[in-house]
């Protein structure tokens, strides 16, 4: 049970005055919560302002620079309402100070409200941006207004929060103020010597400072209040991971001791030799699996580094021991692809492989389930369907989970429910910086595949302005005449009035006028059957150009595709560009990646495209991406199982990750059930950061 002390922080936000269901839904969206029902006061406390507005500049009207925020003390002279029936004509309030006159301009605003806010003859404070037309000053919709007598309540420093359409800053601020006022007097959960040595304020003081910055220094990631809250967030995360690791390892694994017979046949059947780092990863995995402690290992490998071959060796060891292994992919396309890769190689070693997805037909599914239950099938490839209740394994020794960042904490725990606590190997083709590995996957041991398989050619990467599309189309005509294949990546699925980005459907229509039926299209809104058909047509050569959204980012394998064009490349993150580029360069032909961009790039976009031209090292690219964008966008955390951080800045708080990891392990060694005085306080920390799954692990023992 959550401690009663925390009740004021877990009231629904609709309990605050002025927040009904509609406003609550908008606040939930701004906070990144799934629904208004699940949005609580504590979520408001942990919403950090992303910048501040400084209203201290009071230069007088005549000295107000164009487009800079100023605060003016004015005498209100007269109101000029909009003419009746002409709401498109603005309402103007004319005022002056000692230096000049100004028109305060309002659109679609109620007259009685303005007459109360800016009474004729009164002195008022207004703040906003001044525009100058023909030597006359104007301020459209001042951000802040107050009567001179209320100057004490006029904020000269205003924190700015992320908003969503329809949510006013004033309403959000009022809700945050209500949440701050309800913070109870809480015990300290951090180690006392650490707090003193680091000079960190307590939780409540840190929250108040977070929402009342005095200047830009308070917005810095290393300001004491921000560091304190970042450490709280990291510690909550590391405690959760440590508790999960303990739970997963508590169920004893079965030692896997194969004789090497199947693996030797698999090695002979592979069309290449394992690289040094592949052999090392296989050795680490086999050593882990020989123990009765369950393996929990993350296998990181850049695009094309051969993770599937490593996983296959581990699966072969399970077959040698008479057990079963599964490989779970996040999509049906990828599951089918893994099956196509693995089945012929395993077949040469005398091992049967089955494919099980949500689209497996009932009759075939029944036969597969029978083979799984009897133990006849030793290797099974599939999607989430592998872990439905109807699937009963004969002797499951290993679960390989492909594309780890798409599987969250809950899925990792669910995997433990099948079989006699299988060993777990999770793989990712997204190179993840070490800091993020520690913070998001701190419960795992890590293997890295640092080399590309022999014979992989470098991919030539060029950047071109969008205006050069005609040249690209002509080059593609030559390439296709020579039997080449190309991807063309677009950021949107269909046209939208909100964006001028080129949509996949519009680009497909345009290219079809040049290449006819040789152009296919695939995107996330198509059903699985249509996606599969589009991919099959491209693989078989029926189509030679595939227009796609980022649905092809992960794992799609067409070895003879050697050109990839990425439109609006400036809109993609570095890690994503690198993933997309990795769709080519998988065969014997030299390959090209063309990054198309719109002119007038931001400095960040320039840096991003420059790194893509210079480097093909996924781990270096991931580190650079982390510096440029932060961890949230790096892994696309909103779509994935990895919790995005609210207050942690991985670059600025890199030093705190290791400290939090060690602290969490120390706490659980000394006080495994969090029953001591500090342990009880740490339970509060877990609730505050919404780590309820960790509390359940404590209760489950």
Q: Residues 393-419: what's their mean pLDDT?
A: 68
313 has a pLDDT exceeding 70? yes
Across the chain, what does the average pLDDT equal? Answer: 86
Choice among 265-274, 335-344, 416-425, 464-473 with the minimum mean pLDDT = 416-425
Q: Residues 561-567: what's their mean pLDDT?
A: 94
pLDDT at 641: 33
553 has a pLDDT exceeding 70? no
564 has a pLDDT exceeding 60? yes
Cα 164 from Cα 30, distance rounded (Å):
6
Q: Residues 327-338: what's their mean pLDDT?
A: 86
497 has a pLDDT exceeding 80? no
pLDDT at 492: 67
Q: Residues 619-625: what's their mean pLDDT?
A: 77
Encode pLDDT of 525-548 as tens digits: 788 788 888 988 998 999 999 999
Enumerate the domain spans of the chain: 4-52+164-219, 56-154, 261-449, 459-615
Choice among 15-19, 104-108, 634-638, 681-685 with the minimum mean pLDDT = 634-638
602 has a pLDDT exceeding 50? yes
pLDDT at 637: 34
pLDDT at 636: 35
509-517 LR contacts (CB < 8 Å, sep 24+): 511/473, 511/545, 511/547, 514/473, 514/477, 515/476, 515/477, 515/480, 515/544, 515/545, 517/543
Q: How confident is the model at residue 186 (pLDDT cuts 50, 70, 90)?
A: very high
How far from each other are the two terminal CA atoms of the chain, in whole angstroms?
15
Q: Quick one: tokens of 259?
A: 């004789």
Is domain 261-449 annotated with CATH 3.40.50.300? yes
Q: Where are the alpha helices (DSSP H) in 349-483?
A: 362-374, 409-415, 434-440, 469-481
Residue entry with tokens 């599914």: 365
Higher per-residue confidence, 306 vs 681:
681
Q: Residues 648-663: what's their mean pLDDT?
A: 87
Phi and psi torsions of 378, nearest 5°: -95, -30
Encode pLDDT of 412-438 as tens digits: 555 555 555 789 898 887 666 666 666
pLDDT above 90 covers a percentage of the chain that reads 52
**Fold of the 459-615 domain:** Rossmann fold (3.40.50)
pLDDT at 407: 52
Higher per-residue confidence, 87 vs 647:
647
pLDDT at 369: 95
Higher per-residue confidence, 555 vs 159:
159
701 has a pLDDT exceeding 50? no
Q: How confident is the model at residue 440 (pLDDT cuts 50, 70, 90)?
A: low
Q: Residues 98-103: what's their mean pLDDT?
A: 96
Cα 253 from Cα 273, distance rounded (Å):
30
Q: Quick one: tokens of 343?
A: 């089945």
pLDDT at 408: 53
| Triad 573, 577, 582: Cα angle to 5° | 150
Q: How confident is the model at residue 473 (pLDDT cuts 50, 70, 90)?
A: very high
Encode pLDDT of 262-310 as tens digits: 999 999 999 888 999 999 999 999 999 999 888 888 898 876 778 899 9
Q: Do domains 261-449 and 459-615 have the same CATH topology?
A: yes
Model pTM score: 0.66
pLDDT at 38: 87
Residue 306 CA, chain-centre distance (Å), reads 25
The answer to whether the CB of 557 falls within 8 A of the CB of 337 is yes
Q: How confident is the model at residue 132 (pLDDT cuts 50, 70, 90)?
A: very high
In CATH terms, the superfamily for domain 56-154 is: Nucleic acid-binding proteins (2.40.50.140)
Nearest Cα residue to 600 out of 503, 461, 465, 468 = 465
pLDDT at 418: 54
């Amino acid at each position: 049970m959550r401690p009663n002390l925390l009740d004021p922080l877990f009231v629904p936000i609709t309990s605050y005055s002025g927040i009904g269901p509609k406003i609550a839904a908008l606040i939930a969206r701004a906070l990144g919560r799934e629904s208004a029902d699940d949005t609580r006061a504590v979520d408001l406390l942990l919403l950090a302002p992303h910048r501040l507005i400084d209203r201290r500049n009071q230069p007088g009207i005549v000295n107000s620079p164009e487009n800079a925020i100023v605060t003016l003390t004015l005498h209100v002279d007269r109101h000029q309402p909009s003419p009746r029936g002409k709401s498109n004509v603005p309402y103007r309030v004319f005022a002056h100070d000692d230096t000049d006159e100004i028109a305060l301009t309002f659109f679609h605003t109620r007259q009685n409200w303005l007459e109360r806010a800016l009474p004729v003859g009164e002195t008022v404070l207004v703040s906003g941006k001044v525009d100058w037309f023909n030597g006359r000053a104007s301020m459209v919709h001042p951000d802040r207004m107050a009567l001179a007598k209320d100057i004490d309540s006029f904020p000269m420093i205003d924190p700015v929060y992320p908003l969503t359409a329809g949510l006013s800053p004033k309403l959000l601020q009022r809700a945050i103020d209500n949440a701050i006022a309800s913070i109870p007097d809480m015990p300290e959960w951090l180690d006392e010597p650490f707090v003193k040595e680091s000079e960190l304020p307590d939780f409540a003081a840190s929250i108040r400072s977070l929402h009342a910055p005095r200047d830009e220094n308070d917005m810095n990631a290393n300001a004491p209040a921000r560091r304190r809250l970042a450490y709280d967030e990291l510690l909550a995360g590391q405690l959760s991971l440590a508790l999960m690791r303990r739970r997963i390892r508590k169920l004893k694994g079965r030692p896997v001791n194969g004789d090497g017979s199947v693996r030797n046949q698999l090695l002979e059947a592979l069309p290449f030799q394992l690289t040094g780092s592949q052999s090392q990863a296989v050795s680490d995995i086999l050593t882990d699996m020989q123990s009765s402690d369950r393996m929990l290992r993350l296998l990181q490998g850049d695009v094309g580094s051969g993770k599937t071959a490593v996983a296959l060796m581990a699966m072969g060891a399970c077959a040698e021991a008479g057990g079963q292994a599964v490989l779970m992919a996040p999509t049906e396309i990828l599951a089918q692809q893994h099956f196509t890769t693995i089945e012929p190689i395993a077949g040469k070693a005398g091992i049967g492989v089955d494919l099980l997805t949500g689209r497996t037909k009932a009759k075939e599914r029944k036969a597969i389930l029978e083979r799984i239950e009897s133990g006849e099938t030793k290797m099974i490839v599939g999607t989430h369907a592998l872990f439905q209740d109807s699937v009963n394994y004969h002797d499951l020794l290993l679960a390989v989970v492909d594309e780890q960042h798409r599987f969250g904490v809950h899925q990792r725990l669910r995997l433990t429910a099948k079989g006699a606590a299988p060993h777990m190997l999770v793989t990712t083709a997204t190179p993840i910086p070490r800091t993020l590995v520690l913070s998001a996957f701190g419960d795992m041991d890590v293997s890295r595949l640092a080399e590309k398989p022999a014979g992989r050619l470098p991919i030539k990467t060029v950047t071109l302005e969008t205006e050069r599309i005609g040249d690209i189309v002509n080059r593609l005509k030559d390439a296709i005449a020579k039997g080449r294949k190309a991807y063309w990546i677009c950021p949107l699925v269909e046209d939208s009035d909100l964006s001028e980005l080129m949509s996949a459907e519009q680009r497909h229509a345009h290219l079809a006028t040049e290449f006819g039926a040789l152009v296919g299209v695939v995107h996330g809104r198509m059903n699985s059957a249509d996606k599969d058909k589009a991919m099959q047509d491209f693989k078989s050569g029926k189509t030679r150009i595939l227009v796609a959204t980022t649905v092809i980012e992960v794992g799609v394998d067409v070895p003879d595709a050697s050109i990839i064009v990425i439109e609006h490349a400036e809109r993609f993150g570095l890690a994503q560009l690198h993933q997309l580029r990795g769709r080519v360069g998988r065969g014997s032909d030299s390959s090209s990646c063309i990054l198309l961009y719109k002119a007038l790039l931001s400095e960040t976009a320039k840096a991003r495209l420059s790194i893509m031209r210079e480097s093909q090292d996924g781990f270096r690219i991931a580190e650079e991406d982390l510096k440029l964008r932060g961890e949230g966008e790096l892994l696309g955390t909103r779509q994935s199982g990895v919790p995005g951080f609210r207050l942690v800045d991985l670059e600025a708080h890199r030093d705190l990750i290791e400290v939090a990891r060690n602290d969490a392990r120390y706490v659980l060694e000394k006080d495994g059930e969090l029953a001591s005085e500090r342990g009880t306080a740490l339970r509060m920390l877990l609730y505050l950061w919404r780590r309820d799954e960790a509390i359940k692990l404590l209760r489950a023992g």
